[in-house]
Structures are given as C-alpha cells and as structure tokens.
Amino acid sequence: MNSRHDLEPTDAAALLVALCDHLGDASALTPNLHLDPLAGRMPGVGWTDEQSAEAHRRISEMLERLEDQPEPAAPPSPAARRTMIEWLAGGPVSDRSAGMLRDELALDGDARTPSWHVSDVDRPPTRVAVIGAGMSGILAAYRLLQAGCHVIVFEKNSGLGGTWFENVYPGCRVDVPNHVYSYSCAQKADWPFHHSPRPVLHEYFQDCAEQWGVGPHIRFGVEVMDATWDDTTDEWRVGTIGEQDGEHRFDVVVSAVGQLNRPVLPEIEGRDGFEGEAFHTARWRDDVDLSGKRVAVIGTGASAMQVIPEIAPVVEELTVFQRTPAWLVNRPLYHAPLDQGVLDLFERIPAYLHWFRLRRFWDTHQGSLDAAKLDPDWDGPLERSVSEMSELLREIFTGYIEEQFADRPDLLAQVVPNYPVGAKRFILDNGIWAESLKRDNVSLVTDGIDRITASGVETDGDHHDVDVVIYGTGFSASSFLAPMAVVGRGGADLRERWGDDARAYYGMTVPDFPNFFCLYGPNTNIVVNGSIIFFSECAVNYLVESIGQLRTDGLSAMDVRPEVHDAQIQHIDAANSEMVWGLSSVNSWYKSATGRIAQNWPFPLADYWAATQQPDRADYERW
Ligand code: NAP
C-alpha cells in the first residue's frame, strides 16, 4: 500500500481525476482504481502497489495528451461531475454528501454566492454589524457585501485575522491540511507548506479581505461592549469603545468573535508572585529574549507542543510541565513544503488544485468520527476506548509513541495517554516531539504543580528554578461572547440565559435574540475531523439567506422558536453523550463548568451543510 497522500505528495488519485476533468475524458476513472473509503484516514490503507502502478501509467499517458490540449475541456455535466466525485470518494455517496462536496470543489462557480441581492428587493439595504474580523467575520462581510448589505465590522485588534493575528508564538502553524483550512471560494495554489506557518495564514486572510473589498468596512481598535435589541424599532443598539466610542444602530448583529481568544492563566498559588517574566502563548512577548534562560512551559496542548520544539534549542534549560499527555498522530508532511512538481501542475491544470483540496477535504471530513462514537455493544473500559475502531486507533497511536520513545523508557512511561483517542484534540507529529523531549536541556515533569514561587515552580517537594514561565494553558472557551453584554427581547440577558452552557440553534440563533447570529458558535467545533472554515462557510450561507428571506418576504425580524431550538439542543446533547469527548472524564476545553459539551458538533459534516442551505421559515417567529 503506498497511496496515502501524506506519503505521496502528488496525490495520484486527485491528479488522475483532475486530468480527466481537464481533458474531458473520464474513461480512466474505472472502478478497479476506486480508493478505499478509509484511504487517508487509516495508516496503511490505500491502493495496492499494482493499482498505484496502473494509476501512474494512466497519469503519464494523460500528461502526454495535455501537451496537445493545454486548455481545459468544457465543464462536465452535473451527473458526470458527481460520478467523478464518487470515484474519488471510493464509491457512491448520499445526495447531501454529493452536494457538500460539489460546493467544496467549487469548480462550477462559487455555489455559496448569495441567492439574492438587495437590488431585487424593494427595501433599503439591511444594516449589519459584524463583530470580529477573523476568519468568520471576513467571510461574513464578503457575503453580506455581495448581497448588497451595509456592513460594518468591529475589530478590537489593530489588524485582521483573529487567532492568526493574535497567536504569534514561535512554531505556530495550522494543524489541519492547509488546502482544507482555506475558503472553498478562495482556493490558493501557492501554499508553501502542507501545514503553513502562521504568517502565511495571516497573509492569506489579509489577501482575501483585500480582494473582497472588506477592508474599508472594518473599524479597527473598536470593541463592542454591548448589543441591545430595541423592541420598539426592531433594531440592535450596539455600544462600542476604543477608536470609535458610541452607539450604532443595526438591523442584524453577527457575532464572529471565535471561541479561543480569551487566554486563561491557571489558578496556581503564588502565580502573581513570580519575579521573572511570565506570559501566555497567545500573548507572546518578543521582547523577552529566551536565549540562555531557564524556561518553564506549563501545559502540553496544541499551542505548547508547537512552541516547545522551537524554543528548546535556544534556551539553556527547558522544563515542561505536563498534566495530561496528548495523543500524537504521525504526519510525515507536517513541516514539509509542497512539492515543486505539485505547484507546477497546479499552474498547468487549474482543476488539479480543486481536486487536490477536495481529496483532503474528503479524507478529513469524517476523520476519526466513526471511531469516536460509542459502540453500545463495546464491553471494554471506556477510559481506554469506545469501540473496536477506537481500540484499533489506540493501538496504532500507541505503537507510534512507542516507536518514538523506544530508546527512552523513562519518557515513554510519561507520555502515553490514559484516555481514549479523540477525547482531546490529538497533536500532529513528525518526530519533533520526541526529539524535543529527549534533548539534554529539556526535562519533562508530570508531578502536579503545588505552587509558583518568586523564583520558579514547585512540584511535590521539588523546586524548579526558572527565569521565565510560559503558560500554554489554553483559553476560556466556554465564555462565548464574553465580555459583551447582549440583551434581547423583553430585556432577556444572554449571559444569564447561557450561564456556563452556551446553546444556539445550529450554533447560530437563540430564542429572544432576534436577528442575532453567531458564527463558530456553540456546538460547531470539531475534534477529530474537518475544518472550522467549513462550518463558517455553512453558517454564513445560512445568515445571508436568512436576511434574504426576510427581505423578500417584506419582514424585519426573525426569532427562533424555543421548542425548535430546544429540540435541536437535546438532539446534540444526546449525540455528544455518546461521543468519546462526552464519555471520557479527561479534562478538555470542550466541557463547560457543568460538564456539558458546549463546543462540539457530533454529527457528520454533511448534516450541517444540509441544515444550513436555507433556513426553514417555520423554525422562526417572524414579523
Ligand atoms: P489547550 O488545548 O486547552 O491546552 C492547555 C494545556 O494547559 C493542557 O495541556 C492543560 O492540561 C494545561 N493546563 C491547564 N491548566 C493547567 C494547570 N493548572 N496546571 C497544569 N497544566 C495546566 O490549549 P491550547 O494548546 O492553546 O489549544 C487550544 C485549542 O486551540 C486546540 O485544541 C486547537 O483546537 C486550537 N489550536 C490549534 C492550533 C493549530 O491549528 N495549529 C494551534 C494551537 C491551538 P490538561 O490537558 O490536563 O487540561
């Protein structure tokens, strides 16, 4: 087996289907070359060597034909396109999966362009406030502008990009394949890496905002403090501070504030008495020179595990405080540049970029979701695995960690997780984690932290003297929308309504808060599959179509019906309680203070796609 795309940079399956698309001849897509649907998701699954050789023979033949036919043939019919999609997917897919994949492929135009424009409707343009100019806010502004809305984006920072603006720690890079972590309507042919570093991502979002004309609509350095629904005028009054203090009136408010932007410093005794430098990964201090310093990193989540390999060679001593080890997933291409041959082919065959991206989307869309679901007949301990597939993943992941630490049994004993794969986000690795922990100047401490003193960190009777403490301790993810005060119909207070458990209909709308939409809202995060950009694209589609429906129906406001909202939340909660992140008692930012999973979407991505195509008017009270 050798066709896993993370082992084979060209991705022969994507190239073959792209060549067929370009040449207008799909005869090479024969069933004997169907990929196993698990290809890309399970190590060792893919084409046999014979199938791979046959695919490469066909690719060579078609590349020769390309010499005579450099221009793409006419686009295939929708039915022929679906056949090609299904070939890449390894067999027939449901209508909703086919629709989702067609939108993601985006070869037949941009399917998510708004279906309406203000000029078609005899009403003044809708005034929309978008809060946050990160990945979701930029996209929302673009789509709303396409529909002819009046848009203002309030951004508390001095620049756009949200998480990619704020997280400047060394080693920060995207942990889903770059091609998937990009908008379907802005596919980028020149990602330098499979998982690009932060500056590249930041530039991508800046470029999108510029190309889409979003920039002039952003008010930087302006923080929204409150939003209050005015029952008498059917408007939101939005209060801001910063560069633009004051009150503004809008028809619709869109919260695009993200989930991971309020850093948390842990409640550890003595924390504030530390006399050296101390900072959070998301508030990186470039002015603190770490070279030759004794440094502590507290936490081993996704942020810390990117920082540690970068600073380990620079500092004099590094002490890593790990409370819970992470599962590592072997990604040989984690730090690898895109193959130059692939970049050249993107130029010669424009469809290749789209199929290359779709292959990655398809491989990650389900990811390990099946393995993360409880098999009711599974009789193994749930703190180990939740199904046969979950147990198999555990064995594969454990095998990888054992391989990595084979020469260091002392470390191995500390780094194998004791919870099922998927209960927390797993971390991409290419050997860099073991390499870092094995360095002579690095020590891993797994005893609990008792206190922080003026000169270091104390654990179980040991004192670790350090000059700098770096907190990789995550974010206050459950405090959705904090510190904003949002007041809806009849004075309903969103913070009181939610308490510790944010809930919204499909992560977007909340009863008594008319014309208020959240993007990347409650229960729209994913753990073991997909990319959140997909969720934002779907949610933005729903938002823009909702406004379109109101306008075409001559109405001003929509408020989700409580019974519709509650039924959907019950459905989500029931499903999350059978997912590994709901079953395991391990710490994670997916759980609120009450233990409810307030973050994660437990269903296939295609379900979210289908639900967000068009709002159902019956789900809302509308006036
Ligand atoms: P995180 O996953 O919440 O990790 C926080 C870490 O701090 C955990 O290891 C946690 O231990 C530890 N910790 C918290 N309080 C502690 C205490 N009192 N004592 C000792 N250790 C403590 O935060 P993150 O690493 O910033 O990542 C958050 C999310 O951001 C990720 O899950 C991912 O979705 C996203 N992210 C993505 C990327 C990327 O795309 N490249 C990079 C970074 C982050 P426990 O596990 O025991 O709680």
Ligand 1: nearest atom to the Cα of 474: 23
- On the 0-12 / 13-18 / 19+ scale of CB atoms within 10 A, 79 is exposed
Average pLDDT score over residue span 517-538: 94
Average pLDDT score over residue span 297-321: 98
- Percentage, residues of the chain above pLDDT 70: 97
User: Would you place residue 34 in the very low, low, confident or very high pLDDT band (cuts 50, 70, 90)?
Assistant: confident
Query: What pLDDT score does 574 carry?
Result: 97
Ligand 1: nearest atom to the Cα of 324: 47
The residue to mutate among 175, 181, 303, having the most atoms of ligand 1 within 8 angstroms of its beta carbon, is 303
Average pLDDT score over residue span 194-203: 97
Name the residue with tokens 């169907």.
Answer: 34
Query: What pLDDT score does 121 carry?
Result: 81
Neighbouring C-alpha atoms within 13 Å toward the C-beta of 164: 23
Examine the pLDDT at 438 and tell me if it is beyond 90.
yes
- Whole-number Å distance, alpha carbon 263 to ligand 1 midpoint, is 10
Name the residue with tokens 């997933």.
Answer: 329
- Whole-number Å distance, alpha carbon 144 to ligand 1 midpoint, is 34
Examine the pLDDT at 338 and tell me if it is beyond 70.
yes
User: Would you place residue 346 in the very low, low, confident or very high pLDDT band (cuts 50, 70, 90)?
Assistant: very high
- Whole-number Å distance, alpha carbon 363 to ligand 1 midpoint, is 25
Examine the pLDDT at 169 and tell me if it is beyond 50.
yes
Q: Indicate which residue's Cα is closest to atom 27 of ligand 1.
A: 302
What gap in Å lies between CA 529 and CA 531, rounded to an integer?
A: 7
- Of 43 and 405, which is predicted with more confidence? 405
Examine the pLDDT at 484 and tell me if it is beyond 50.
yes
Examine the pLDDT at 427 and tell me if it is beyond 80.
yes
Ligand 1: nearest atom to the Cα of 305: 25
Query: What pLDDT score does 43 carry?
Result: 55
Pocket of ligand 1 (CB under 6 A): 173-175, 260, 266, 268, 298-304, 306, 321, 323-324, 425, 449, 472-474, 587, 589
Ligand 1: nearest atom to the Cα of 525: 34
Q: Indicate which residue's Cα is closest to atom 26 of ligand 1.
A: 474
Q: Indicate which residue's Cα is closest to atom 22 of ligand 1.
A: 299
- Whole-number Å distance, alpha carbon 535 to ligand 1 midpoint, is 22
Residues near 570 by Cβ (< 8 Å), separated by ≥ 6? none
Task: Please give the domain boundaries of the chain with CATH numbers for all domains.
Answer: 3-92+341-365 (no CATH), 118-262+477-622 (3.50.50.60), 271-327+380-470 (3.50.50.60)
User: Would you place residue 45 in the very low, low, confident or very high pLDDT band (cuts 50, 70, 90)?
Assistant: low
- Whole-number Å distance, alpha carbon 304 to ligand 1 midpoint, is 7
- Whole-number Å distance, alpha carbon 601 to ligand 1 midpoint, is 19
The residue to mutate among 202, 260, 283, having the most atoms of ligand 1 within 8 angstroms of its beta carbon, is 260
How are beta strands 468-471 and 558-560 bridged, if at all? unpaired
- On the 0-12 / 13-18 / 19+ scale of CB atoms within 10 A, 228 is middle
Examine the pLDDT at 6 and tell me if it is beyond 90.
no
Query: What pLDDT score does 587 carry?
Result: 85
Examine the pLDDT at 261 and tell me if it is beyond 90.
no
Query: What pLDDT score does 1 carry?
Result: 38
Lowest mean pLDDT among 42-51, 69-78, 111-120, 399-408: 42-51
- Of 367 and 316, which is predicted with more confidence? 316
Q: Indicate which residue's Cα is closest to atom 33 of ligand 1.
A: 302
Examine the pLDDT at 44 and tell me if it is beyond 60.
no
User: Would you place residue 8 in the very low, low, confident or very high pLDDT band (cuts 50, 70, 90)?
Assistant: low
Average pLDDT score over residue span 30-52: 76
Look up residue 325 and give its DSSP letter.
P
Average pLDDT score over residue span 242-262: 91
Mean of all residue pLDDT scores within the chain: 94
* CB 22 within 8 Å of CB 351: yes
> Helix (H, G, I), strand (E, B), or coil: what is residue 195?
coil
- Whole-number Å distance, alpha carbon 302 to ligand 1 midpoint, is 6
What gap in Å lies between CA 197 and CA 187, rounded to an integer?
A: 17
**pLDDT tens-digit map of 351-383:** 999 999 999 998 888 878 888 999 999 999 999
**pLDDT tens-digit map of 82-133:** 999 999 988 899 999 999 999 999 998 898 999 999 998 878 899 999 999 9
User: Would you place residue 459 in the very low, low, confident or very high pLDDT band (cuts 50, 70, 90)?
Assistant: very high
Query: What pLDDT score does 482 carry?
Result: 82
- Whole-number Å distance, alpha carbon 223 to ligand 1 midpoint, is 26
What gap in Å lies between CA 477 and CA 101, rounded to an integer?
A: 30
- Whole-number Å distance, alpha carbon 471 to ligand 1 midpoint, is 10
Ligand 1: nearest atom to the Cα of 588: 48
Name the residue with tokens 């992941």.
Answer: 397
What gap in Å lies between CA 399 and CA 73, rounded to an integer?
A: 47
Ligand 1: nearest atom to the Cα of 323: 47
- Percentage, residues of the chain above pLDDT 90: 84
- Whole-number Å distance, alpha carbon 367 to ligand 1 midpoint, is 21
Examine the pLDDT at 231 and tell me if it is beyond 80.
yes
- The C-alpha torsion from 587 through 590 and 592 to 594, rounded to 10°, is -70
- Whole-number Å distance, alpha carbon 423 to ligand 1 midpoint, is 13
Examine the pLDDT at 39 and tell me if it is beyond 70.
no
**What DSSP assignment string belongs to 350-388?**
HHHHHHHHHHHHHHHHHTTTTTTB--TT--S-TTT-SSH
The residue to mutate among 176, 323, 328, having the most atoms of ligand 1 within 8 angstroms of its beta carbon, is 323
- Whole-number Å distance, alpha carbon 362 to ligand 1 midpoint, is 27
User: Would you place residue 472 in the very low, low, confident or very high pLDDT band (cuts 50, 70, 90)?
Assistant: very high
Q: Indicate which residue's Cα is closest to atom 23 of ligand 1.
A: 474
Lowest mean pLDDT among 64-73, 322-331, 516-525, 579-588: 579-588
